[in-house]
Structure 1
């Protein structure tokens, strides 16, 4: 393997657990209840535009009503405040990634400006800059393969030379649709007990539960990591 493509939210930083808690709490406050696991599987990893469209549609199907006009604006205020206070790199992320010598980049559904802020805020940006790719660079976000294919082309790697590290069903599906190897990553606090099974069912080649096991998994896929 030539290139390792890291997702950001839930793989590099703990933002997914912040988003998940805020979104489920906010939806419950307007009387819309989701089961945590099914919500995670359906919505995690989508671009903001795709998430909003799918959530609107799903809420209409579940409740017969629509979201309040200011729903997304108020939710963004809540998540931004929590992100400023609680966003952090996942344990051992910097130590592990800094020891990997293979080509690496980030490919995330987060819009570019916010993605750079997350990496800067958590002290991880120097591990990847300038190889940072976001969903606003392509036509279709995950689970379409566009973003991963764009990242691979920019890095000079063929899809079958790439390993994607992903924590979401939509991200795993995108990696496999791109013709890449995919490691399902379940180290984030948002991952429930059966999350790894969901990633395997979506096509992940293997599951890694913590950064301490990532290098061995990469080596198992033929990646030069040291």
Structure 2
């Protein structure tokens, strides 16, 4: 394999558990409760615009009322406060990624400025810069394959030479649609016990539940290709 493409939220940093907690608490407070597993499957990994459009429809169906004008501002304020306090690297990310022999980059639904802020905040940005790609760069965010294909083109790698490391259903769908190998990554605390099975069901080739096993999983694709 030539290139490993890392998602950011829930793969490099623990932001998904922070977002999930903040968003579900706020939604419940306005009378729009969601079951965490179904919320993750539906909304995690989407580009901001897609997330907003899909969430608006769901919330208005649940509450029977139009969204308040400050709905997304309220969620953003709560989430940003918690990110500034709690954001951290997923354990063993740096020491594992430094040992991976392939080219590497980040391809995330997070807007570019916030994406770089997260990586800088936890001290991982030097592992990837300048190869940091956000959904701002493409017309269609995940689950469309556009972002992963953009990253591969920028890194001069063919899709079949790429491995995507993803924790979300939408990210797995995007990686497979791009014609890439996909590792379903479940090391984040937001991943419930059967999340790996869910990712396999949506096309992930293999599940890795901790960084210590990631390098071997990447090598396994090379072994399969040679067989």
- TM interval, shorter chain, is over 0.9
Q: For residues 4 and 76 of structure 2, what CA distance do their matches in structure 1 show? A: 31
What per-residue deviation string (whole Å, max 9, x for no partner) do you get for residues 71-115 of structure 1?
110111111010001000000000000111210000000000000
Q: TM-score, length-normalised on structure 2?
A: 0.97
1:35-74 aligned at under 5 Å gives the runs 35-74=35-74
CA distance in structure 2 between the partners assigned to 1:87 and 1:60 by the alignment: 30
CA deviation profile, 1:3-24 (whole Å, cap 9, x unmatched): 0000000000000000000000
Aligned ranges 1:1-226 → 2 under 5 Å? 1-222=1-222
Shift of 1:182: 0.1
Q: Distance in 1 between matches of 2:152 and 2:162?
A: 7
Residue 209 of structure 1: how far off its partner (Å): 0.3
Count residues with an aligned counterpart. 223
Q: Hey, what's the Cα distance between the residues in 1 that align with 2:40 and 2:202?
A: 13
CA apart distance, 1:68: 1.6
Q: CA deviation at 1:129?
A: 0.3
TM-score (ref. length: structure 1): 0.97
Superposed displacement of residue 61, structure 1: 2.4
Unmatched runs of 5 consecutive residues or more in structure 2: none
Equivalent-residue separation in structure 1 for 2:46 and 2:171 (angstroms): 8
Unaligned stretches of 5+ in structure 1? none
